Amino acid sequence: MDWSYVIAPVVGGVIGYSTNWLAIKMLFRPHTAKFLFGKRLPFTPGIIPKEKPRMATAIGGAISENLMSREVLEKNLLSEEMLDRIRTSITGFFACQQQNDETLHEFLLHYLSEDDIRNAVGSVKTELTGQLVDRMSKSGLGEKIAEVAARHVTDKLRSDGLDLNLPGLLARLIGPRLWNKLADVLEIPIRKFLTKNINQLMEKNGAEMVGNLITNEVSAFEKTPMRELLSGKDEQIRQFTESALTFYHTVISEHLPRILSAIDIPRIVEGRINEMSMDDTEKLILDLMDKELKAIVWLGALLGMIMGCVNIFI
């Protein structure tokens, strides 16, 4: 048996396998330059460690221009599939809350701390109290209350003027006509008196009264179960869902360029790659291309065996 027919292909395969394996290793190693007698050895560091900054810049630019560009993001973020997914997520969330027995306060504790809720509620109470007191003082509420009260008093005097009581006796003595005129005359001082006292009362105690009212209402609102808050609110939920989708569409279509500009994707990607150690970079690339790199190694072995066979017949 002529062993040359076996040895040549085997040697060719081993050489092809070894050279490709070594070439792949030399892509990553050594990670740093090696020196001999003050001279840097060739092929040190490896190709990827040496070209890492340039590769980081190129990858960042490629991702920004091809994967994270405005056109690509708009196409995916505003696709019907994505919008349906968001709509389903929102409606599913509200459907779940419509069966939720937790109070509003308990529900908020899933997302906020007790202190955050307390501060938020306190801010709402303070803001509402200030706005209501301010509007009450500017709306002439005291005058309106006094006007209604004075009219009610004089109307009662007119209608009850003939009753068997003191006003009734006076009405009988002076007659209905004069009694009605007297009631008309009394309405103005009664109104002024009530206006003055109501305004003073509101000025001194308005904030406290309104604050207590709002505190009670907010406390009761916090203790209301979520299912009660959302009961019968299907139309409002539908409107909210559509409004949320409209807002989302507006943000993506109108503000995406500014968002991308503010994020500066190329710089972030470039910086992250440069921050990675070569061990992490090597592991990442090998994890991504493990099968492909192994295929290259075995392809080298196959080509080496083929060349060995060819040499036999040359």
Q: Measured between alpha carbons, how far is 263 from 251 in angstroms, rounded to an integer?
A: 15
Query: Total domain count for the chain?
Result: 2
Query: Would you state the structure tokens that stand for residue 87, as one six-digit string?
Result: 């709509």
Q: Measured between alpha carbons, how far is 23 from 284 in angstroms, rounded to an integer?
A: 18
My answer on whether 156 and 260 are in the same domain is: no
Q: Give per-residue pLDDT as tens, 106-158.
A: 999 998 899 998 888 888 888 887 777 777 666 666 666 666 676 666 666 66
Q: Give per-residue pLDDT as tens, 205-248.
A: 667 777 778 888 888 888 999 999 998 889 999 999 999 999 99
Using a 10 angstrom Cβ sphere, with 0-12 exposed, 13-18 middle and 19 or more buried, the burial of residue 269 is buried
Considering 207, 224, 241, which residue would you say is the last residue of a domain? 224
My answer on whether 42 and 149 are in the same domain is: no
What is the chain's mean pLDDT, rounded? 80
My answer on whether 200 and 115 are in the same domain is: yes
| The pTM of the whole model exceeds 0.85 | no
My answer on whether 57 and 123 are in the same domain is: no
In a domain, 85, yes or no: no
Considering 204, 224, 244, which residue would you say is the last residue of a domain? 224
In a domain, 94, yes or no: no
**311 has a pLDDT exceeding 70:** yes
Q: State the amino acid at position 206 in one-letter form.
A: G
In a domain, 236, yes or no: no
In a domain, 210, yes or no: yes
My answer on whether 152 and 210 are in the same domain is: yes
Q: Which of 36-40, 42-46, 168-172, 296-300 has the lowest mean pLDDT?
A: 168-172
My answer on whether 19 and 64 are in the same domain is: yes
Beta strand 35-36 with 39-40 is: antiparallel
Residue 42's domain comprises 4-76+254-313
My answer on whether 112 and 47 are in the same domain is: no
